[in-house]
Every structure is written in structure tokens, then in C-alpha cells.
Amino acid sequence: MRYLFEEYALDTARRELCRGTGVVAVTPQVFDLLDYLIRHRERVVTKDDLIGAIWNGRVVSDAALTTRLNAARCAIGDSGAEQRLIKTLPRKGFRFVGQVREAREVASPNPGDAPESAPALPDKPSIAVLPFANMSGDPEQEYFADGMVEEITTALSRFKWLFVIARNSSFAFKGKAVDVKEVGRRLGVRYVLEGAVRKASGKVRITGQLIEAATGTHIWADRFERDLTDIFALQDEVTVAVVSAIQPKLLQTEISIAARRRPEDLTAYDFYLRAIQQAGPSTREGLAEALRLVQRALELDPGFAAAAGLAGACHAENVVRGYAIDPQFERREAVRLMRVALNRDDGDPSTLATAALISALMVGDCETEIEMSDRAVALNPNSYRAWNCRGWVYKIAGQPEEAIRSFERAVRMSPLDPQQYTALTGMGFALIELRRFDEAISAGKKAQRHNPRYPGPYRCLASAFAHLGRDAEAREAAARMLEVDPAFTISAWIARSQLPENAKLMIEGFRKAGLPE
């Protein structure tokens, strides 16, 4: 068996650890330790488990075990401080948390040929970014094309729900005419990103296309043209543009695939994707179905941090939207599931962002919530969700200027995101508190166009119009809001939200617009 993770391969038959094409020197005990952790990666391994498996139950000091763990981490480019691949859970044990693919060697049709491995597809979206073609006719520009691939690969790898093939493996195809289906088979990925770079007359044109490897279907394609000034700034700008365009496309495609699967074939990840789709519009029925689906995901995989976070977010939405039959129960469940998600993976930017927002809505510990949301965007500065959640956290904490900066960054990160109306609504709320009522109206109208069934934009518009003395428009927005949310009252909205003092302008606008107390 060969276990593949990042750019490493652990070959149990040859008892070799390889990085790319090179062999990493490890002692037998360190190899056995890695083998045991990887084979039992679905659970937390205790100290006694390791001693029984590696040392056959002999008495081993904590220092000796720590030394072997440090050596194992060092061999795979990890460390005790980072714990990217081998995580220590205090007073519980250890777990290998890296994404692993298993590959069995298959018999060659010709006995003299070397066997080759066809890695199985991971149980989550997987992508390889192939070397971009240099169309400039200038060999000196190879570094720029290669640098683009490096930046895009790094940016995509920050999305922990996405399995990204390491650069060294993708670059094995550099300079070769490739069959995308064969690339997908050899690398064990569902998607392939191809591209080309052309530089001429002080400009650079970059094309990219995202392809489903098994079918050759083009999912996305676009072209970017920029002035050639600061090379590194240009690479950053194009990386943001490419990643923010393909990330929602990947997720939408995965949701469509999950929706087509037969019920008996559904995995925990499939249930999670279906739950995302149901939760998106934030309707009473959609949230109830999302909770049912995400519970199935957690039954199949109790360690699924993102699923626990989504379940907590659904309970929080039920409270905030006024759907909860027992608000105190749902509030407790939201906080409990938030803590479950953090305990399972507090290094995932999406989990951190979700937890920060749940806490902001349900708890109101501003300092902790700001710290979590700041850490989320630091871990993945290309995540729409991380920036959107950060905007809401800062809005609730009473810092509208920083909230607006986060919402603007979110919209820039993912201009076609189906959830963009939530960022635009938050921006409108924050603009009201800064008395920038005309801008709040603009944001509210954009949000309303994105999702006419979401009540937030109408609240924004009712308040902003009322502050400007545009009474007829304020009353019309209030009436539309009550059509969408007929149970709305100002007092109930205040009671179920964590609102700081600076929400007074919003509430004052509600009253001017004639919304019920």
C-alpha cells in the first residue's frame, strides 16, 4: 500500500518514505509510527496505542515518545508548533489530520514494465493546477508562468475542503502535450486547471480553464489582461481573480454531483453538500432540512468539523430569523456544536469563521470573536466566507468601518458568490450606523436583487429611506419586509440579536418607517 499526502508517499511494501522522487531517510521506529498514525487516521490514537504497536508494550518514557513524534513530524515537513499533519490533542492522544489518498500497485500487462499506481479519488473535491503554457516566445518568461501556478496552487490549498495536488507532481507534466483524462487518472483528481500566459507590449494576458477530468467537460474559463508593472503584485492580483472565480464553481459542481447520487451511495461529504444547498436561502423549511442532512453527515463521520459548524450555524439562523420553537434550546445547541467544531479542527479557517459568527450572534464575547475571525482571514485571505463572517463579527461588535472593509473584501473575493446578498446586507447595516444612508440604500437594493426572499435588505432599505425622509419608499420597503417576515417586531428583533449601542440608528429608522414594535 502507498499512502499519498501532500508531496509525500509512504510505501509500506518497500518501507520507504518519499518526497517527490527522493527518498527521505527515517529510522524503522519513525516509519512504523507514521504508518500506524496514517492507518488509524480516522480516530485519536492514545499513547498506550502507540507504545503497544511500536514498542510491543515495553515501558517507554514520555521523552522517548516525544522524540519519535518530533522526528516523524520533521520527516514530513511538520513541527510541534504547526501540527499541520500530526496533531496532538492534550490528555487524549495524537491524530494524523492530513488528507491521504491510498494507492495500490496494479499488475503491469508486461512483466518487464515497472508497476504504476492509479490513486483513488479522495472523498472530497480534488484539483491539479498544471504548468501554465508560456505563449510569449521568450524562454526568460518561464519564471512568470511558473510563479503564477505556484501562487494559485498555494491559494487553493488554503481551502481545507479541497484536495490540491502539490506543485512537484503537477510539474511532471511541464512541457508535455497532455490528455486531461489521463492527468486526472494518474494524479487521482476530479478537476484540472490549465492556463497560458502571454506577455507583450507592456501587458500580460492570462487565460485559464477548469475541466472535469473524467468527462473533459469545461466548467469555467476566463481571460485576464493587466498592465505589466509590479510582477509580484500582478501575480497576487491574478491569483485572487482566478481563485475567487473557480472556488464557487467547484462547490456548485460538487453540490450538483451530490444531488445526482443515489441515496444508498451518499457519503458524509455528500450529505454536507446537500445541507449547504438547503441552508443557503435561510428559509424555515430549508434550515430544517439542512439540519436533518447534516445530522446524517455527523452520524457517518463524527469527526467532521465543517458539518458540526454548519449544524451550529443552522441553529443560530433559526434563532436570529425567529423560526425557533424553543429559542433557548436552539441557542444552546448552536453554541454546543460551535464548540464541537472547534475541538475537532480549530485550525480550519472556514470552521473558525463560522464559529466566530455563531458566537457573535449567540454569545457576544467580542474580543474572542474578533480574534477568531482575524485568524480565519489570516489563514485563508482568499476565502469569501472568512471575510463575510468577519464583517458580521465586526458589525455586531460595534465597529462598522472595519465591518465595511471586510464586506468589501468579501465581495471582491467572490463577485459571483450565490451568498453575496448576506455581505451586501451587512454592508448596508454598517453604513446606516455611519449615517451614510444613500450608500446603504445602494447596498440594500443590490442585496434585494440577489435574493428577493431574504428580509435583511428590506430592513436596511426601510431604515435608510426613513432617515432620509423618503417616507413613501420607507413604508414600501417595510411592507415588503413584512410580506417576507410577517412575524417581525422591533422588540423581537432586538431580543434575538446581539446588538451593541450603535444599532440605535437602525432601530430608530425602523420606528420612523412604521414597523411594528
310 domain-assigned: no
> Is 234 found in the same domain as 168?
yes
82 domain-assigned: yes
The mean pLDDT value of the chain amounts to 86
CB of 387 closer than 8 Å to CB of 407? yes
> Is 207 found in the same domain as 162?
yes
Please give the pLDDT value at position 178. 77
Q: What is the pLDDT of residues 503-512, one digit of tens each?
A: 889 999 999 9
Tell me which of 72-81, 118-127, 163-172, 394-403 is least confident: 118-127
Per-residue CA distances from 2 to 68, 170, 178, 190, 515 (Å): 22, 19, 25, 20, 64
Please give the pLDDT value at position 104. 56
> Is 89 found in the same domain as 130?
no
SS3 category, 300: helix
CATH number reported for the structural domain that contains residue 23 in this entry:
1.10.10.10
Percent of the chain at pLDDT > 90 equals: 39
Q: Is the pLDDT of residue 399 over 90?
A: yes
Please give the pLDDT value at position 130. 92
CATH number reported for the structural domain that contains residue 454 in this entry:
1.25.40.10
| Average confidence (pLDDT) over 57-71 | 82
447 domain-assigned: yes
- Cα(457)–Cα(460) distance, integer angstroms: 5
22 domain-assigned: yes
Please give the pLDDT value at position 417. 76
* pLDDT interval class at 495 (50, 70, 90): confident
> Is 149 found in the same domain as 238?
yes
CA angle 424, 430, 432 (to 5 degrees): 105
**CB crowding 409-442: b at 16 or more within 10 Å, else e:** bbbebbeebebbbbbbbbbbbbbbbeebbebbbb
335 domain-assigned: no
> Is 146 found in the same domain as 205?
yes
> Is 193 found in the same domain as 96?
no
pTM: 0.70
Of the candidates 246, 269, 293, which is a domain's last residue?
246
Looking at the structure of the chain, the number of domains it has is 3
Please give the pLDDT value at position 108. 36
Percent of the chain at pLDDT > 70 equals: 94
Tell me which of 181-185, 226-230, 498-502 is least confident: 498-502
Return the higher-pLDDT residue of 452 and 108: 452
Q: Is the pLDDT of residue 121 over 80?
A: no
Total Cβ atoms within 10 A of residue 513 = 26
> Is 168 found in the same domain as 67?
no
Most confident of 50-54, 91-95, 215-219, 248-252: 91-95
336 domain-assigned: no
Tell me which of 107-111, 232-236, 241-245, 462-466 is least confident: 107-111
- Cα(107)–Cα(407) distance, integer angstroms: 54
> Is 517 found in the same domain as 423?
yes
* pLDDT interval class at 115 (50, 70, 90): very low
| Grid cell 412604521 in the structure block, residue | 514
Q: Is the pLDDT of residue 61 over 70?
A: yes
Please give the pLDDT value at position 493. 86
For residue 205, the 8-state DSSP code is E
* pLDDT interval class at 122 (50, 70, 90): confident
Burial-class residue 308 by CB neighbours within 10 Å (0-12, 13-18, 19+).
buried
Of the candidates 192, 218, 246, which is a domain's last residue?
246
Q: What backbone torsions phi and psi does residue 322 show, to the nearest 5 degrees?
A: 80, 20
Q: Is the pLDDT of residue 498 over 70?
A: no
21 domain-assigned: yes
CA dihedral 7, 119, 3, 108 (to 10 degrees): -110
356 domain-assigned: no
Q: What is the pLDDT of residues 203-214, one digit of tens each?
A: 888 888 999 888
Return the higher-pLDDT residue of 230 and 481: 481
| Average confidence (pLDDT) over 400-428 | 89
Most confident of 11-15, 146-150, 399-403: 399-403
> Is 130 found in the same domain as 89?
no
Of the candidates 246, 274, 309, which is a domain's last residue?
246
Burial-class residue 481 by CB neighbours within 10 Å (0-12, 13-18, 19+).
buried
Domain that holds residue 492: 419-517
> Is 43 found in the same domain as 79?
yes
> Is 148 found in the same domain as 91?
no
Beta pairing class for 2-5 and 101-103: antiparallel
Please give the pLDDT value at position 57. 66
Residue 244: all three cell numbers together: 475567487
For residue 84, the 8-state DSSP code is S
> Is 161 found in the same domain as 97?
no
* Angle formed by the axes of helices 305-321 and 349-362, nearest 10°: 30
Q: Is the pLDDT of residue 387 over 90?
A: yes
Return the higher-pLDDT residue of 12 and 34: 34
Strand partners for 195:
208
| Average confidence (pLDDT) over 3-31 | 82
Closest CA to 280 of 314, 329, 308: 314
